[in-house]
Amino acid sequence: MNSFASLLGKLDIHALPHDKITQGGAASLVLGMVAVVVLLTYFKRWKWLYREWLTTVDPKKIGIMYIVVALLMLLRGGADALMMRAQQATSVGAAHGVLSSDTFQQVFSAHGTIMIFFVGMGLMFGLFNLIVPLQIGSRDVAFPVLNATSFWLYAAGMALVNLSLVVGEFSAAGWLAYPPLSELRYSPGVGVDYWIWSLQIAGIGSLMSGINFFVTIVKMRCKGMDLMKMPLFCWSVLTTSVMIMFAFPILTVTLTLLALDRTLGMHFFTAGAGGNAMMYVNLIWAWGHPEVYILVLPAFGVYSEIVATFSRKSLFGYKSMVGALAAIAILSFTVWLHHFFTMGAGADVNAFFGIMTMLIAVPTGVKIFNWLFTMYQGRIHFASPMIWFMGFVFLFTLGGVAGVMMAVPPIDFQVHNSLFLVAHFHTMIISGVIFGYLAGITYWFPKFFGFKLNERLGKYAAWCWIVGFILAFGPLYILGLMGATRRLDHYSAAMGWQQLFIVAGIGVLIIGLGVFFQLLQFGVSIWQRKARLDYAPDPWRGRTLEWATPSPVPVYNFAKLPEVSGRDAFWAMKQTKQAAADKDFMDIRLPKNTPAGLLVAGFAFAAGFGIIWHIWALLVIGGLGVLSSIIIRSTAERTEYTIPAKQVEQIETEARARESYA
Amino acid sequence: MEESAVVRPPSLKEERQEADSKTIFGFWVYIMTDCVLFASLFATYAVLHNNTVGGPGGKELFSLHYALTATLLLLTSSFTCGLAILAARARDKDKVLFWLGVTFLMGFGFLGLELHEFHSLAVSGNSWRRNGFLSAFFTLVGTHGLHITSGLIWMGTMMIRVAGSGLGRINVRRLTLLSLFWHFLDIVWIFIFTIVYLMGGAGV
Amino acid sequence: MSEIAAYRAKEGGSMRSYTVGFIISIGLTIAAYLLVTQKILSGWGLVYAIIGLAVVQLFAQLFFFLHLGRGPNRKWNFVTLILMLIIVFIVVAGSLWIMHNLNYHMTPQQMNQYMRQQDGGI
């Protein structure tokens, strides 16, 4: 591999995809991007794109970008899921299904990586950006430019993963790339390197966001909003941010060690020269377990907001909810070995982590009960967010019980890496994380766009997801107990598994129908927006401060920063019929747009591509580019602009007028 | 509209103090995350430090007095960095530049000592490619060295900036952040010196 | 000058504070160095001693150089420090326990060696 001679490193024509499925995927990706470029050019929107979106530091816009990218990635991850189900439903006995073994392995690796890092984390950070500043009565996050940089680093990681579809290949080592399979000897191609560097880049962005939102909530709450008066969603963001801050450095280190093994010939995980592959498994799960709680805790926060609003009651047991969040945050760092009970540790170690795993179910149970107690004797309105919640409560509890079963090491020895495990974690992630964030998007959509999404289509979507999920994963619990291992691309007909796999396939199709209804919902709602536009600032009769602003929210959030005295601050404002501010407006200073984040991420992307393909010049240019962008940005002098009081007054007056008209 | 609802807007001074306090706190939080990063590297080193595959270990390879020299150099630079900050509070530009310069030279010297050690290990057949122990050693100490390098680049830019535009509020704040970073790196080095060099040299 | 005195009271940091911290750190560093090179202690006793000295130096530098416990953010600085230390302890101690345990159970030919280690000294 004379990669140093050529300037292009390992890159050559063979990097383009060879099999039909990958070619199809690559082609649709390229066509999609070409379509976007054509549309932007035709409608002459490049300047608008740059000014309004690429250089923005407004968390509301950044939140929308996160969610758009995450939903697009949901389609890609979902396509992977459809392919896997199709393969496992048909690849029996003499038949070998629709995918080659190698492609299947890349598909399930891409599926997991994309869903966790780019769908889950994307939706999560999207909601952080949209909701936290509003709920704490602030104008912005603590570090707006850092925030923008976080988003663009996430996008750069996403771009690398998608680029692997067109140039090169993706990892075939699963979403966590255990060595020795992920070492150079057994994965000599660029796939694992794409995996490493896209996650490394996106991971730095996540870490920065964790710090950002932690400082935002600690330092920027409005007057009177003590920590124990914050909306519960903000508590979930605070605890999640702590977990992000302390878990992601472990991921950074682990990815680096694997990269050092692969690129510089080190021996962290290569047994022959004193490495220890088990250390990788240990470290990656020391990050990985907190990660799954990072994903789900904000979803719990969303549910807390939704259940209270749609039961017309304040959340039951606020203090115990906060305590539960804090307990889960700390405990999530004490259970990670349950992901490798079977790796060979002794009974004492397994027992300790088994007990800790069972313990962590307790605070989660507290939360479930509190949500139900909130609903009890409330006046419940079954809008689509509540339907997502009902699906969650039912499914998450069942899936959680499966988790407690597996916390018992002897049981886990039977079902580890079987489809029982796969069913469990999909239940947690889909009914917990995905339902929660989709419900949140529906719930908060009118705040940012001035009109609600079509409720009927939303309900169809929710029901399809719930029924589809039961059909897709119910059989997997059974298959796991029947002995079916995960990641199988073929099995013998004698196993008797095919019928259940077919049912699972139908389930995924129904989920796909749900996704179709959601796309239709967006399309129809946006198409009909002029008719639906009601600018209602408080369409669901909410309880928290975000509803105290006009819809859509003006760039400065609040004309006057609110002062609160209790929980459910907006509800209190409504009870006391507190009038909206209509005089004594002041000048408002906000941070200016900047391309700094985009540049840093762009150079990081280039550096990543350079390392992957051993194009060292590109790595150097990318690295220097990142450094220069940071230094040049630090020399920027006038980084804020002012909205004069008169203009604030004008914006507010127009907003009020719109509302009364509607 | 009740008169009591009129809020006195924060003064510019209060706003700026709040902004500075927020930035400095944010940097402290970042340093906490960097501690977790180093902790993971220490854990890896601890697991792999005996995996020499028959080759020489710390006892054979590390020179303790060399490491002590480097340690005292970095420690002194941490002290002189503190002196630079005192000068910054006193708005004494020349003193700031002097002490930052001294800190920079000592830090640069530290880096030089470390690179020299790396070089002699590498040419004697003990590079990071040899075994798990050396991979862990080079990565742990090397990561610290990369942080030192970043600190030196930052220090250089700050010296240029202070020389050019003086000790305004923003520059003083940035110097505060830099000093937090530099002190933190010395604290990490205490543990590298203890766990890698002292324990390695003792054959533990 | 009163601005500096006021600052010192609020934020911490004075010539005295840095000098005391510096001298303590030098002392602790040299003490640890001598413990090893003069072979004053050995085995686990040595390990505990030098790690103890390192931890003391950590606190000395946290207080004298980083002014922990002073400044406008002192409460939250302290909270984040404690949280970090808890997590670091769990992850590092947990990892060392797990990896040692795995090595013990996974390498039967070295089990004798480990058993000898458990029973006495290093």
C86-96 confidence digits (pLDDT tens): 999 999 999 99
Residue A641 has pLDDT above 90, yes or no: yes
The whole-number pLDDT of residue A160 equals 97
- Hey, of B28, B37, B172, B191, which one would you mutate to test binding to chain C, going by the most C CBs within 10 A of its CB? B28
* DSSP string computed for B71-128: HHHHHHHHHHHHHHHHHHHTT-HHHHHHHHHHHHHHHHHHHHHHHHHHHHHHHTT-ST
Nearest to A579 among B1, B30, B136 (CB): B1
Report which of A306, A514, A543, A336 is spatially closest to residue A430, judged by C-alpha positions: A514
- Please check whether residue A554 is in contact with residue A654, taking contact to mean a CB–CB distance below 8 angstroms: no
Q: How far is CA B204 from CA A121, A435, B84, B134, C100, in A?
A: 43, 53, 39, 16, 16
Q: Per residue in A167-210, pLDDT tens?
A: 999 999 999 999 999 999 999 999 999 999 999 999 999 999 99
Residue C5 has pLDDT above 60, yes or no: no
What does pTM read for this prediction? Answer: 0.95
The whole-number pLDDT of residue C110 equals 62
Looking at residue A500, its amino acid is: L
B24/C73 Cβ within 8 A: yes
The DSSP call for residue A265 is -
Residues of chain B with C-beta less than 8 angstroms from the C-beta of A212: 26
Separation CA A650–CA B53 (nearest Å): 75
The whole-number pLDDT of residue A489 equals 94
Q: Per residue in A475-487, pLDDT tens?
A: 999 999 999 999 9
The whole-number pLDDT of residue A67 equals 98
Helix (H, G, I), strand (E, B) or coil at A588: strand
- Hey, of B6, B47, B126, B135, which one would you mutate to test binding to chain A, going by the most A CBs within 10 A of its CB? B135
**Residue A156 φ then ψ, to 5°:** -65, -40
More confident residue, A21 or C117: A21
The whole-number pLDDT of residue B9 equals 65
More confident residue, A245 or C12: A245
Helix (H, G, I), strand (E, B) or coil at A662: coil
Helix (H, G, I), strand (E, B) or coil at A248: helix
The whole-number pLDDT of residue C10 equals 54
Q: Please name the chains neighbouring B, where neighbouring means 3+ C-beta pairs under 8 angstroms.
A: A, C
The whole-number pLDDT of residue C115 equals 64
The whole-number pLDDT of residue C114 equals 63
Whether A334 and chain C come into contact, CB under 8 Å, resolves to yes
The whole-number pLDDT of residue B18 equals 87
Separation CA A82–CA A505 (nearest Å): 8
Nearest to B35 among C18, C30, C84 (CB): C84
Looking at residue B125, its amino acid is: G
Residues of chain A with C-beta less than 8 angstroms from the C-beta of C83: 242, 246
Residue in chain C closest to A247 (alpha carbons) equals C87
Tens of pLDDT, residue by residue, chain B (204 residues): 444 444 566 777 888 888 899 999 999 999 999 999 999 999 999 999 999 999 999 999 999 999 999 999 999 999 999 999 999 999 999 999 999 999 999 999 999 999 999 999 999 999 999 999 999 999 999 999 999 999 999 999 999 999 999 999 999 999 999 999 999 999 999 999 999 999 999 887
Q: Using CA atoms in the order A173, A339, B42, A244, what is the torsion angle rounded to 10 degrees?
A: 90
The whole-number pLDDT of residue A606 equals 98
Instruction: Show which of residues 159-188 on chain B sit within 8 Å of chain C, judged by CB atoms.
Output: 180, 183-184, 186-187
- Please check whether residue A152 is in contact with residue A177, taking contact to mean a CB–CB distance below 8 angstroms: no
Query: Confidence band (pLDDT; 50, 70, 90) for A50?
Result: very high
Residue C9 token pair: 């009271």
The whole-number pLDDT of residue A217 equals 98
More confident residue, A638 or A250: A250
Instruction: Show which of residues 133-162 on chain B sit within 8 Å of chain C, judged by CB atoms.
Output: none
The whole-number pLDDT of residue A637 equals 86
Residues of chain B with C-beta less than 8 angstroms from the C-beta of C4: 89-90
B86/C14 Cβ within 8 A: yes
The whole-number pLDDT of residue A584 equals 83
The whole-number pLDDT of residue C41 equals 86
What is the 3-state secondary structure of A416-446?
CCEHHHHHHHHHHHHHHHHHHHHHHHHHHHH
Nearest to C33 among B21, B32, B64 (CB): B64
Could you give the percent of chain A with pLDDT greater than 70?
A: 98
Instruction: Show which of residues 68-107 on chain B sit within 8 Å of chain C, judged by CB atoms.
Output: 68, 71-72, 75-76, 78-79, 82-83, 85-86, 89-90
Residue in chain A closest to B131 (alpha carbons) equals A273
The whole-number pLDDT of residue C50 equals 95
Whether C108 and chain A come into contact, CB under 8 Å, resolves to no
Query: Confidence band (pLDDT; 50, 70, 90) for C12?
Result: low
Q: How many CB atoms lie within 10 A of CB A51?
A: 11
Whether C95 and chain A come into contact, CB under 8 Å, resolves to yes
Separation CA B157–CA B162 (nearest Å): 9
Q: Per residue in C71-88, pLDDT tens?
A: 888 999 999 999 999 999
Q: How many CB atoms lie within 10 A of CB B1?
A: 10
The whole-number pLDDT of residue A440 equals 98
Residue A361 has pLDDT above 80, yes or no: yes
Residue-averaged pLDDT of chain A: 95
The DSSP call for residue B130 is S
The mean pLDDT value for A609-620 works out to 96
The mean pLDDT value for A417-437 works out to 98
Indicate the domain borders of chain C.
1-72, 73-122
Whether C92 and chain A come into contact, CB under 8 Å, resolves to no
Separation CA A293–CA A74 (nearest Å): 20
Report which of A119, A124, A126, A143 is spatially closest to residue A65, judged by C-alpha positions: A126
Residue C120 has pLDDT above 80, yes or no: no
Helix and strand counts by DSSP (H, E) for chain A:
22, 2
The whole-number pLDDT of residue A579 equals 67
Q: Please name the chains neighbouring A, where neighbouring means 3+ C-beta pairs under 8 angstroms.
A: B, C
Separation CA A541–CA A156 (nearest Å): 39
Residue A598 has pLDDT above 90, yes or no: yes
Could you give the percent of chain A with pLDDT greater than 90?
A: 91
Residue C122 has pLDDT above 70, yes or no: no
Q: Per residue in A230-247, pLDDT tens?
A: 999 999 999 999 999 999
The whole-number pLDDT of residue A397 equals 97
Residue in chain B closest to C13 (alpha carbons) equals B86
- Please check whether residue B86 is in contact with residue C18, taking contact to mean a CB–CB distance below 8 angstroms: yes
